[in-house]
Amino acid sequence: MTPLLVALGGGVGAVLRWRLSVWTRRSGATPAGGTLVVNVLGSFLLGLIAGWGSRPDWVMPLFGVGLCGGLTTFSSHTLEVVQAWRDLERRHAVADLMSTLLLSVPALMLGWSMTL
């Protein structure tokens, strides 16, 4: 049952990632900016889920591993940063790397702290 929960959550997370990326790009964000949005949001959601003390056993596979795993994407983020660097958009590449660290870690901590 657990693999099915992970697969279901992952599918929903992947579609949600795609929709949010399209929306942020249409709003003027760079490709890396769209990925940054989903990574920060996913970090916040994972913090909420991880900090939920008495959660049912199915919550982490469905939402933590599946949804948040499908929503966030380190591999796409890395590709976009390298492409920006190779395209001589080095300020964007460095800014995105720093933004990801400076926003995603606190977002996870905020989500987690909201459950205490």
- Residues 65 and 63: their CA atoms lie apart, in Å, by 6
Burial of 80 (0-12, 13-18, 19+ CB in 10 A): buried
Rounded to whole angstroms, the Cα distance separating 71 from 39 reads 7
Give the orientation angle of helix 74-86 with respect to helix 31-51, to 10 degrees: 150
Binding residue per annotation — 69?
yes
> What six digits make up the tokens of 81?
């940063």
Annotated binding site: 69, 72
Binding-site residue set for Na(+): 69, 72
